[in-house]
Each structure stands twice: as C-alpha cells, then as structure tokens.
Structure 1
Amino acid sequence: MSNYNFFCPTRVLFGQGSLNEFHKQPMPGKKALLVISNGQSTIKNGSLERVKKELAAANCEYVLFNEVAANPLKSTVEKGAQVARQENCDFVVALGGGSVMDAAKVMAMFIPQPSDDLWDYAGGKTGKLKPLDKEPLPWIAITTSAGTGSEVDTAGVITNPDTNEKIGVGGPDSLFAKFAIVDPELMKTVPPKFTAYQGFDALFHSLEGYISCVHNPMSDLVQRTAIENIGKYLPRAVKDGNDMEAREAVAFANTLSGYSMITSACTSEHSMEHAMSAYHPELPHGAGLIMIAKEYFTFWINKHLCDDRFIDMARFLGKQEANDPMDFIDALVKLEEDCGVSDLKMSDYGIKEDECMTMAVNARETMGGLFMADPAKTTHEEIAEIYRRAYK
C-alpha cells in the first residue's frame, strides 16, 4: 500500500526544558481543568507546581482533578467532566502519562455534551456511538512518561468495568491537542520497571504498525525511526533514569509511535492486551503486551505473510546480520532481557489459563477494528491459542 492520509495539527514542543515554554503559547481558554493521576509522582517531582506557575504566568485559572488511575475508568472521566462543568472550565490540561492524557482527552470531548453517560459516545460492544452534540473543549498535553504517544492522537483508552470493556473512545480531528509538551526532564523519576513497560508499549505501536495491512511509506518512516531509537536507548533509560540522552531518544520514539497510529494502525496485539487488563485492571498495559509479544509475533511469522518486514525489524532492533524472520524474535527477547522484563507472568496478575477464550472473544468484540489491520484474518481459536502459548 502506498496511499496514506496524514493529518496531525498538534504543535509539539520537544526537548529538555520545553515545559518552560508553556506560558508563552496561546492559551485556548481562561480556566483549565488540570488533570493528574491519583498518585504522588507529579507532586514529588515538582512538575505539578511548575505547571501551576506556568498557568499563572499565562493568566489562566485552574481546577485540579487528581483521580485518574493506571487504567482510567468510565466513571472517572464522567466525574472529571462533572467537575469541569460545575467550575465552568473552558479547556483541559493533562499532566501525566498515557492514562492521564487519555482520560483528559476524553473529558475534553465529553464535558460539552448534554449526556451524563460517556458510553453514549463510545463504541465497543455496548456503547451507543452517538455523534457528538457539541465540539470538544480544547486540551493541552504535558507528558511525563514515554509510552503511548497519546499527546498526538485523538482517542483515549477507557475501561468500563461493568461490561469488561477497555476501548478507545474519541476519534474526531477536533480532539487533537492544541499543543503538547514532551520534556524528557519530566521523565527522569519514572522507576526502571515502568520505564521499560512504557517503552515497550511505544515499541509495540510501531512494530504492529510495520506489519499491519495498512502500512505505507509514511508509516514506515515513522516506525523505523521509533523502533531504532527504542532498541538502542531503552535499556540505557531503564538502567539509569538520569541518562538524558537515552530519555530524550525514548521520548522521541514515543511521540513517533503516536504518529504511527495516525499514519497506520495498531494490530490485534493491542486488542488482546486490552482484554487482559479489562478483566485484570491492575495489569500495566505495557507489561501485558510484553507477556504476549513473543507468541503473537511468532504466530504471524509462521504465516509467512510479511517475512521481509520481520527481517527489517530485526535489523532496526540492532541485529544487523538478520536474514530470517525468526531473527526478529531473538532481537525482541534480547531487548526484553536487557530491560529486565523477560520473565513476566500472567499468573502473577491473577490471570488464569482457562480465561484464554474469554479474552479472545472480548478482544474482538470490544476492539474488533484493530483486527482489520492484521496481516490476515484470524479466528477466536487462533487468538486463544496465542494466549495459551504465552501463558505462564
């Protein structure tokens, strides 16, 4: 495929110290809903205080909302929207990792709508997928981790525990952030384990996109650069969080992997992990992806549908002598080992082997769109078998 449709109007301020440029940007409103996680990281590392000062310097008020969990819930988005409506906020600022940006983005979409039920505007198995009644509020992304690329796309992954759905909500062009700040200095305090999980999440966006049936010259360009940077620099960032060259390279790869989702698409691996953490919300998204990656990509290698692309990806990850698709698996496993995440187990998060078919069905029913980007069609049985082979 050579055709592509690329549109990403978000201005990205990238690099060390770029948070200092926040107040110099045109503000899209006068009063922000400032969204952070329910943890302490932005308080302890000082980034929250810095953003408050930047908002003050930009002559903007704010209301703090600090209830976003690692896998943001439908009810949390609805509560944040209610706060914004009551406080007459006219834009949203996200300060945090992918979960915070996803939640804030969907809040920005939901705040102006007349409904109190987010699932009126969601898809999946049970959402009504109604058209938006009003345009979303503008929002600003300040990312403190390198994992999702959510600062440059238009959907947020939200969990509805009542229906065991973890799905992307949003999508209109009006949900692109007005501007995004990607400052690697804000990522220095991310613990090694989560640096690895987040980095692999970004990696899989690009690996999946590179073998997808919707790949194209533009996506190839983005994905190759992202894969190369993560392969070279993620182990260094995991080993030493203060290695700013490594932090910057991984942050760059993360934003590129956001562009990967705009220029092509993730494949069913992401649907499969969303099913895992829909039933087990304590499972970090990146960790779940790592757990199934080896067997997932081996499944496609055995189909021999894109052998050359797997050889490409092995070389992108540093295995320059690669000449066999399975060399990619060797390179991927080595990267996992170098980052200390090669021994993750589903069972450690309460996942049972007899859930494999349940998760396979859930993955397709709730995020079936990503299966359409796969190199070929699959069955429930094939997806369940990938889970079984990955299980430990």
Structure 2
Amino acid sequence: MRFNYHMPTKILFGPGKLNDLSKETLPGKKALIVISSGKSMKNNGYLDRLVEILDRQGIEHVLFDRILPNPIKSHVMEGAALAKSQGCDFVIGLGGGSSIDSAKSIAVMAKNPGDYWDYVSGGTGKGMPAANGALPIVAITTTAGTGTEADPWTVITKEETNEKIGYGNSYTFPTLSVVDPELMLTVPKHLTAYQGFDALFHSTEGYIANIATPISDAYALKSIELIAKYLPLCVKDGNNIEARTQVALANTLSGFVESTSSCTSEHSMEHALSAYHPELPHGAGLIMLSEAYYTFFASKVPDRFVAMARAMGVDVDSLAPEDRPMSFVKALIKLQEDCGVRDLKMSDYGIKKEDIPELAENARKTMGGLFEADPYSLSLDETIEIMTNAYK
C-alpha cells in the first residue's frame, strides 16, 4: 500500500455555483476564454454570465471560439498564439471536455516554445518537458463526462497523422473549477448518455487498472454507483436537477480517479476510432467497445468485476460464484438499454471491419502507456480480437 496523492484544484460544486465565481480571487488580470465552435455557450447565456462576472471583477478577456468536439492541435497552437499576442495571463475553459482540455493545452503552449507535439509522449510526440509550466487554468464544466475539471489530463488530436493522445502534468491541473449542474440541464439526451458513460468508464478502467490505489478505489466505486442509479434519470428527464447533480458528482469523482489511478487500453482503442473518425463522439465510441472489452477482462480480475457489479446494484451474493464477474457486464448492457444507447454501431460512423487491425496498431502506438496499466498484458492479436468482437 504505497501511493502518492496530489490534487491541487479548488472545486466549487453544486447548483448555482457559477454565481460564486464572483467571490473568488481569479489567477490573473486578463483571461483567454476558450469555448467550442458550437452555439450552446452563447445561446444558453453561459458565456454572457461568465463575461459579466469577469467585468465586475475588472478582469479583461479575449474569446477563442474555435474548438471542435474532438479538439485538434492546430487550434491549440492558434489559441496559444492569441493568448500570447493579447497578453493573457490565465485561461478559462468554458464548456465540455473538449473546451477545457483545449484550455489546458493552450495554457501550456502560451508559455512554452515550439510545437505542442514536442511535449506529447507517444506516437510521433517528442516527450520534452514543459520547462516553463503553464498559465493558470480555470475550468467551468457544462457537461458530466470527462472529469477534466478534477484531473490534469487533456486529449488532443494531431490531425495530420490521426494521433489522438492524452497529455498532462502537475501544471495542467486547473487552479479552480466550477461544477454547476444547472449548466448541464440543456445537454441533449444522447449527449447526456455518451458523457455519462465516459465518466463511468474513467471509473471502471481506473478501478481495474494495475496502479489503482485505496483512494482511487473509493472514488471509483462511488462514481459507478451514482452513474448506474442516476444516469437513466438524467436521460429520461434532463431537468431533474437532483439526478444531474448526482451524475455531476460521479463525473468529478471520476476525475479524482484519473488523478490517482489511470485509464486502461479501452481508452486507447477509442482514441484510435475517433482519431480517424472525428465525428464519432468519444463516449459513443467507448460504449461500442465496452461489452467486448469488459467481457474479455472479466476473467482476468474477477474480484474487481464482482465489486463493480455490486456498486451497480447487482445482488451478487445470490449468484453462483462463477457467474458473479460477468454480472457486471450484464448490468452494463442493461444500463446502456435504459439510456437508449445499446444499438450504437461503428459502421454508422464509417468505420470498416477491415480497418480494425490498423486501428488496433494505432491504439498501441499512440496510447501504448495505457496498455501498461491493464491488469493483463494484451497482445496485438487480442486487441484486434476485442475491437472485432465490438464491431457492428
């Protein structure tokens, strides 16, 4: 029982907490606000509310609104150039995981020379240290999916080479995060489900990872319990603020899991899918892989699967011992059915079965580090087997 624990982010959590941002001392005098290229932050009034808070505090701001659902390196470089040219001394990510991840990466490149891929490890990344650190980051999440408000990780795609790789260090933890479930009431049903399952898999992967700790285990099991219970309610009625709050808590807990444990190769495999097919939502890709992935691993760490099944509400003690690990997979399938995402197909996003060997190799080349966190060492053939079994 040996582990380190580092969680430097101050989190304002709960309905209405965006209003409390006005009481906080923000980490600079001029902010680069990073949002997506979509309309939701403006149409829902979230951007205006943030600007009003900044104006009341006398903090200048510049808007960068180019971020894609699967964010790309060229926009990171563009945002960093804007931050530098405008003299921004901190970055605010407002929106979902793509906006906050991009804000983190922009914060790194606003203080370090060269290209973002110079600092990324894996694939064609050079793995250089970000010697100058990063600008302070404020994260205001409007989704419950990535947990990025509570971890150092950011995922960006190098579009020229179809490499979608995670990056993070002690500087990319947000200084301050706001988790206000009232900002999540406008998320559509299908995205609510995709994002909720992304949070679920951060926790399930973090729980079976070979570097899991007693701290990450506690966070993971509570996150799994809350998502199993409340995500279907969010999908059914997006205005259910109690359910939204519980799923938001599960998501933040999943970020704590990512701060103390690790994702496993399920995320590597999905990154390959959405690197080549950026129109595929990350959470949807994870859902597509999940039955085959967890079926494969159920026999590798059966005790962990029994504990996850119990967290999802399964009466595992009433089952025969040999049936208990796979009861988690059955509960996972039922949760997908309850959330209306059981019938997702890779083929609907242009993924071809004959491409799977190339996608499996991409997963191992670009995000090979997560394979090392698996509780069992997957071969390339086994990676292909899981992805093929997941194909519809």
TM-score (norm 2): 0.97
CA contact (8 A) 1:96 1:145 kept: yes
Judge which range, 281-290 or 126-135, deviates more.
Answer: 126-135
CA contact (8 A) 1:4 1:218 kept: no
CA contact (8 A) 2:33 2:91 kept: yes
1:263 is matched with 260
Deviations 1:231-287 (A, max 9, x none): 000000011110000000000000000010111111000000000001111000000
1:309 is matched with 304
Q: Distance in 1 between matches of 2:2 and 2:69?
A: 36
**Aligned AA for 1:164?**
N
Deviation, structure 1 residue 329: 1.0
2:13 is matched with 14
Equivalences for residues 1-392 of structure 1 within 5 A: 2-115=1-114, 117-169=115-167, 171-301=168-298, 304-321=299-316, 323=319, 324-392=324-392
Deviations 1:159-210 (A, max 9, x none): 01111100012x2212211110000000000000000000000000001111
CA contact (8 A) 2:306 2:316 kept: no
CA contact (8 A) 1:140 1:177 kept: yes
CA contact (8 A) 1:270 1:289 kept: yes
Count of residues in correspondence between the two structures = 387
TM-score (norm 1): 0.97
CA contact (8 A) 1:238 1:339 kept: yes
**Aligned AA for 1:210?**
Y
CA contact (8 A) 1:33 1:62 kept: yes
Q: Distance in 1 between matches of 2:170 and 2:71?
A: 22
**Aligned AA for 1:359?**
L
CA contact (8 A) 1:24 1:58 kept: no
Deviations 1:40-97 (A, max 9, x none): 0111111110000011122101000000000000001000001111111110001000
Give secondary structure in 1 for the equivalent of 2:306: helix
CA contact (8 A) 1:16 1:184 kept: yes
Give secondary structure in 1 for the equivalent of 2:165: strand
Q: Distance in 1 between matches of 2:43 and 2:7?
A: 33
Q: Distance in 2 between matches of 1:13 and 1:28?
A: 15
Deviation, structure 1 residue 346: 0.1
**Aligned AA for 1:347?**
S
Sequence identity of aligned pairs in percent? 55
CA contact (8 A) 1:147 1:198 kept: yes
Give secondary structure in 1 for the equivalent of 2:242: helix
Q: Distance in 1 between matches of 2:331 and 2:86?
A: 51
Deviation, structure 1 residue 288: 0.1
CA contact (8 A) 1:92 1:139 kept: yes
CA contact (8 A) 1:114 1:133 kept: no
Deviations 1:295-325 (A, max 9, x none): 0000112xx2311111111111111245411
Judge which range, 208-217 or 374-383, deviates more.
Answer: 208-217
Deviation, structure 1 residue 3: 2.1
Give secondary structure in 2 for the equivalent of 1:325: helix
RMSD between superposed Cα atoms in Å: 0.9
Provide closer, same or farther for how the CA distance between residues 321 and 135 of structure 1 changes in structure 2, counting only shifts above 3 A. Answer: closer
Deviation >2 Å, runs of 4+: 320-323
Unaligned segments of structure 2, at least 5 residues = none
CA contact (8 A) 2:36 2:67 kept: yes
Deviations 1:207-232 (A, max 9, x none): 11111111221111000110000000
Q: Distance in 2 between matches of 1:114 and 1:327?
A: 50
Unaligned segments of structure 1, at least 5 residues = none
Judge which range, 24-33 or 187-196, deviates more.
Answer: 24-33
**Aligned AA for 1:316?**
A
Q: Distance in 2 between matches of 1:272 and 1:344?
A: 16
Q: Distance in 2 between matches of 1:264 and 1:289?
A: 19
CA contact (8 A) 2:152 2:169 kept: yes
Q: Distance in 2 between matches of 1:242 and 1:386?
A: 37
Deviation, structure 1 residue 114: 2.3
